[in-house]
Amino acid sequence: MRTGFLLLHFLLPTISKSCFSGKQQRKHTDQQFQHYKVVEGEVFMMPCSSPESSSTTWFKGDESKKCENQFVANEKDSGTYRRPNGSNFTLQVIKKTKLKCYEPSESSAMLQYAYPGTILCPGHKCYNNTAVVWYKKNKALWKHNRQHCEKNGQLVLNEVYERDKGVFFCDRKITEEGVTWIFRRAVNVTVIPFLNPSSLPEIMYPFQNMTEEVELGQPHTVLCEVSFDFEVNISRKVQWFINDGGDEEKKTLLLMEEPQEKRGRLFSKVNVTQKSIIKEVMPQHLKHTYTCFASNIIGNKSVTIKFKPKHQEPFLVWIPFACFVLFAGAVVILHVKWLELQLIYRSHFQLGGSDGDEKDFDVFVSYVWTAPSTEVANGLTLSSKPYSDAKGCVSNIRQISEAPIEMLLPHVLEHQWGYRVCLLERDILPGGAYTNDVVLTIKRSRMLICVLSAEYFASSDAVFVLESGVKALLQTSAHKMLLIWTSGTSASFIQPDLTVPKLVQRAVKVLPSLQWDAGASYSAFWIPLQKALPAQEAWQISHMQRPQLD
């Protein structure tokens, strides 16, 4: 190795000197030759107008060939090609059998990377080799700017590179009947990293003692990926064996597909993928083990795997079931709570009472008198005077704020905010049937407010108003409803006793409501109330103001 290296260094400069002195060669390549003889089955490449340009296209009849395009010469390619500007080019493809001597091995050469490499021009023994010129693609090799030597039909590259792989051409000049031809031969060069491998194969996949999941009754492919050192005389082999009962002594070769080989990422490596397909996985397949055996001239390596049945993820099984349960649950909830959902929708999302012009009242207030002390009652002379008077009597106002909501509410709505309020005992003429009156009044009102108390639920008449309101809301949504829970009552106040209809019991839990406490602040009660009320008509808006309570 070392002596060889020294020898090269010693010899090459002198070789180079002697090689590049030939002036004849340069003259030769500078001329434009128009007649080419090539050998059938060898690679040829149409000349370009200049070695640098690659845009020339040659035409022969209907055929066209771009220059720089390699093709394997065939007899039918013979003929004269023309360029659009009129220059001609004649190609003659010679049958191998008509050659003086033909040696197939001369058409290819194997050069070892990083070493000097020698190529002979095919037909070396039978032709005059004095004026052979070497080309790589369409460019003469002496123009390639690399250390090399051309002499007597032999090309010596000082050092072989990976990029040297490909086709080299060697041109001879021959004269026939006064016509000078270029007789071109091709050599397919491969570059190899080394002649012999130096390392054992490496099994990249599978891993030792791995377990592969298989589906019973389904086909399964076992795959083995092995990285080998490059080798010239191929000894590499990858095989799959089945070991009966896991006993590696009792192994049988499996039926395998053609191995797939790829040049490794490293120039010096070859990747081999070997597959074996088990057409149908049977329970007995689970009892055996499977060995991937990889060998080359250096030695062998193997990996053994086994199978286990694939069982579906319990999680995946549960998903459809969970979906079903969710769906069924939703259906049940919808079924049970349909009334509530309807009420919530109608009372919250539909604009009741927008047709205010067609209704006689803005607010129908339903309450049951909780019998306040006469003192308070006297203070409330149900006249609007004390409140509309800006300099109202302070004592009156205090009394008012202490008044029960049943009294306060209609008063504020009517006299301070200017709503058209309906009170059953005041506005409905006596004498009609009570139930008719109630239903009609609800229809004539934009909103129904029920002031709820223990007394309210005790009164069947009052509960009838609430029930009628809920029924009307379920049938049409032309009115709004608002519940006002007075001190000590709330939705949970209603015990499941029989005097209150089920419909009402369910409705009061979802209808919009406000909580009233004797000392409720302005923002805790009156502002939300204002927001819940139907929109004011234009003429009413100027009246909308803060109730004068504090």
Ligand X SMILES: *[C@@H]1O[C@H](CO)[C@@H](O)[C@H](O)[C@H]1NC(C)=O
Interface residue list for ligand X (CB under 6 A): 43, 49, 83, 85-88, 108, 128, 130-131, 167, 188, 190, 195-196, 204, 208-209, 225, 227, 232-233, 262, 264-265, 271, 295, 299-300
Half-sphere exposure at residue 460, Cβ-oriented, CA atoms within 13 angstroms? 5
Taking the least distance from each CB to ligand X, the nearer of 206 and 404 is 206
Strand partners, 387: none
Shortest separation between residue 86's beta carbon and ligand X, angstroms: 4
Taking the least distance from each CB to ligand X, the nearer of 18 and 53 is 53
Shortest separation between residue 271's beta carbon and ligand X, angstroms: 4
- Using H for helix, E for strand and C for coil, what is the string for 361-382? EEEEEECCCCCCCHHHHHHCCC
d(CA 39, CA 182): 12
d(CA 453, CA 487): 8
Q: Which two tokens stand for residue 520?
A: 């409720």
Q: Which two tokens stand for residue 384?
A: 């609007």
Taking the least distance from each CB to ligand X, the nearer of 73 and 422 is 73
Taking the least distance from each CB to ligand X, the nearer of 174 and 341 is 174
Phi-psi region of 403 (alpha: psi -120 to 50; beta: other; left: phi over 0): beta
Shortest separation between residue 233's beta carbon and ligand X, angstroms: 3
Taking the least distance from each CB to ligand X, the nearer of 9 and 125 is 125
Q: Please say whether the beta carbons of 388 and 415 come within 8 A.
A: yes
Taking the least distance from each CB to ligand X, the nearer of 211 and 350 is 211
d(CA 325, CA 210): 39
Shortest separation between residue 317's beta carbon and ligand X, angstroms: 32
DSSP 514: E
Taking the least distance from each CB to ligand X, the nearer of 293 and 361 is 293
Strand partners, 527: none
Shortest separation between residue 279's beta carbon and ligand X, angstroms: 26
Write out the DSSP string of 381-416. -S-SHHHHSTT--HHHHHHHHHS-HHHHHHHIIIII
Amino acid at 403: A
Q: Residue 269 contacts by C-beta under 8 Å, 6 or more apart in sequence?
A: 227, 228, 229, 230, 263
Taking the least distance from each CB to ligand X, the nearer of 271 and 540 is 271
* SS3 call for 75: helix
Shortest separation between residue 60's beta carbon and ligand X, angstroms: 11
274-278 long-range CB contacts below 8 Å, 24 or more apart?
274/223, 274/224, 274/226, 274/238, 274/239, 274/240, 275/221, 275/222, 275/223, 275/224, 276/221, 276/222, 276/240, 277/219, 277/220, 277/221, 278/219, 278/220, 278/221, 278/222, 278/254
Shortest separation between residue 91's beta carbon and ligand X, angstroms: 13
Shortest separation between residue 175's beta carbon and ligand X, angstroms: 9
Taking the least distance from each CB to ligand X, the nearer of 188 and 477 is 188
Host H or E run for residue 196: none
Shortest separation between residue 37's beta carbon and ligand X, angstroms: 16
Shortest separation between residue 281's beta carbon and ligand X, angstroms: 22
**Residue 348 to residues 125, 331, 460, 532, Cα–Cα distance (Å):** 105, 23, 27, 10
Taking the least distance from each CB to ligand X, the nearer of 66 and 426 is 66
